[in-house]
Structure 1
Amino acid sequence: MRAGSSSTTIVRGAVCTAVFAAALVAGSAGARADESVDLGGGKGVLIRPAGKPRASLILMPGGDGRVNVGAGGSFSGTLGNQLTRTRQAYVAAGFAVLLVDADADLAKAVATMAAIKRPVTVVGTSRGTQRAARGIAAGARPDGLVLTSGFLSDASGDSDNVMNILGSPAALPRTLVVHHRQDACKKTLPAGVEPFQKWAGSKARVVWLSGGVSDGNPCEARAHHGFNGIDGQVVSAVSGFAGR
């Protein structure tokens, strides 16, 4: 399928934990030192791969999104979030990565990463999908958008969703939705995916995931909502889309 076509992909089966762990180690070993970047009202942590990047990713964690960026690329927030915990796997896959705080100016973040390497893809998870949509509505123009465990439509369980924030699919860049079949969070129910896909039309495709482990609060990172146990499948889907 073309990246811009409307389609649905179902991914099943266990991920090889050893391969994913190796990617994390490779990313940590091969990347340059992390940098702190000013992005308007908030900051970001910039991680560059050792070689020439293939593309750029802007990661927008869920929850309150408070990365709490300090000096020299240090940070103390969103540590367990799915995007935060897999940042080095994307670096290992050749991406320049910018992990952004909730108050960061997304348009400035996109411009920062475009100066490093296009295409620039914004990846939001959970409440990060709301912040991504608000940034796009305010004028940010990424080349691509990935919505994982997203607040997608009214059927997701919350009226503050991507469809309502953007108003029209004309505002969408090419988009990938990654969702867990068993997501039990009442704000990101799987039922919200189909209405979003119909609304987005040819601009969006969907990857459905299943399996893994769900523990504790169904809206937190250790549940299916956070793709607990199947991080590698998320990284693979996002990397394939963003690297095109």
Structure 2
Amino acid sequence: MIGYQQRILRALGALAILWSLAIPSAGRAETPITVKGGETVTIAGVRSILIRAAHPKGSVILLTGGDGRLEVGSGARFGKAGDNVLIRNRDAFVMHGYNVLLAELGTNLSAAVDHMAAIKRPVIVIATSKGTQRAAEGLIGGATPDRLVLTSGFLSKASGPDDTVQTILGTPNRLPRTLALHHREDRCRWTLPAGVLPFQTWSGGRVQVEWMSGGQADEANPCRSSAHHGFAGQDEEFVARIVKFMMR
């Protein structure tokens, strides 16, 4: 009976995480977005959107937060997560000279890395919020990106949840060279700043940490893209920090 109750509590906790991180789209349908210069591609049976840079320096794979769904359709259209910090900055990464893959939920990360590597290396996986869990699961599944960027990450148990990048990986040996980019005032209960240092220490030197501060707060829900959790009002600095790491 105790084990059953624990499973129920875990399930409720997981639902609470999804609700708090996906709440911007709750209660109303988002207007479908057509990605300028994009194309719908199918990788291991799942449709994602690819944007090609004119003279690429490399390729990035973007893993959104929340429930991970983009609802990719034909003609480079998607229906969800347009306000996510990574998805809304897709064109900025292209302008910096990187091919960009907007990865749909369920995309096999290993296959996606191979797909982008065939176009242009290095391949960098950039994940945010709950997407950092999916990035870790992809590494476990055999994905071998050249670099990894974790923003507002579920990094260690001090971040808030039990299922974190650290606990999913089990060992730092699976990490490529990694950047953890975090906001000092992130108040989302699943990505607390307190989780960053334990993760960096555990990594044994594989993780570089960058902190941001300022920007806009969302007091109604600190887990929204419109909060410090989503680096609201700081898109230019956010992209610049990541690009600087990718070019090293």
Structures share fold, TM-score greater than 0.5 = yes
Can you give the 5+ residue segments of structure 1 that lack an aligned partner in the other structure?
A: 1-30
User: Partner amino acid for 1:200?
Assistant: S
1:231 equivalent in structure 2: 235
User: Which moves more between the two structures, 234-243 or 121-130?
Assistant: 234-243
**RMSD value over aligned CA atoms?**
1.2
2:141 equivalent in structure 1: 138
- 1:230 deviation in Å? 0.6
Query: After superposition, what is the alpha-carbon deviation per residue over 1:171-221, rounded to whole angstroms, capped at 9, x for unaligned?
Result: 000000000000000000000000000011211100000000012310110
CA distance in structure 1 between the aligned counterparts of 2:203 and 2:236, rounded to whole angstroms: 26
Instruction: Give the TM-score taking structure 1 as reference length.
Output: 0.85
- 1:39 deviation in Å? 2.0
CA distance in structure 1 between the aligned counterparts of 2:116 and 2:50, rounded to whole angstroms: 9
* Percent sequence identity over aligned pairs: 53
- 1:42 deviation in Å? 2.6
Query: After superposition, what is the alpha-carbon deviation per residue over 1:102-126, rounded to whole angstroms, capped at 9, x for unaligned?
Result: 1101011101110111110000000
Q: 2:87 aligns with which of 80, 84, 104?
A: 84
- 1:40 deviation in Å? 2.3
Q: Secondary structure at the match of 2:190?
A: coil
Instruction: Give the TM-score taking structure 2 as reference length.
Output: 0.84
Establish whether residue 128 from structure 1 lines up as the match of residue 131 from structure 2: yes
Distance verdict in 2 for CA 1:192–1:227, change over 3 Å: same
Aligned length: 213
Please give the residue correspondences for 1:80-159 in structure 2 after superposition, counting only pairs within 5 Å.
Answer: 80-159=83-162
Distance verdict in 2 for CA 1:65–1:38, change over 3 Å: same
Can you give the 5+ residue segments of structure 2 that lack an aligned partner in the other structure?
A: 1-34
Establish whether residue 206 from structure 1 lines up as the match of residue 234 from structure 2: no
Please give the residue correspondences for 1:56-75 in structure 2 after superposition, counting only pairs within 5 Å.
Answer: 56-75=59-78
- 1:32 deviation in Å? 7.5
Please give the residue correspondences for 1:214-229 in structure 2 after superposition, counting only pairs within 5 Å.
Answer: 214-215=217-218, 216-229=220-233
CA distance in structure 1 between the aligned counterparts of 2:94 and 2:136, rounded to whole angstroms: 24
Runs of 4+ more than 4 Å apart? none
User: Partner amino acid for 1:192?
Assistant: G
CA distance in structure 2 between the aligned counterparts of 1:203 and 1:168, rounded to whole angstroms: 11
Establish whether residue 167 from structure 1 lines up as the match of residue 170 from structure 2: yes
1:32/1:49 contact within 8 Å kept: no
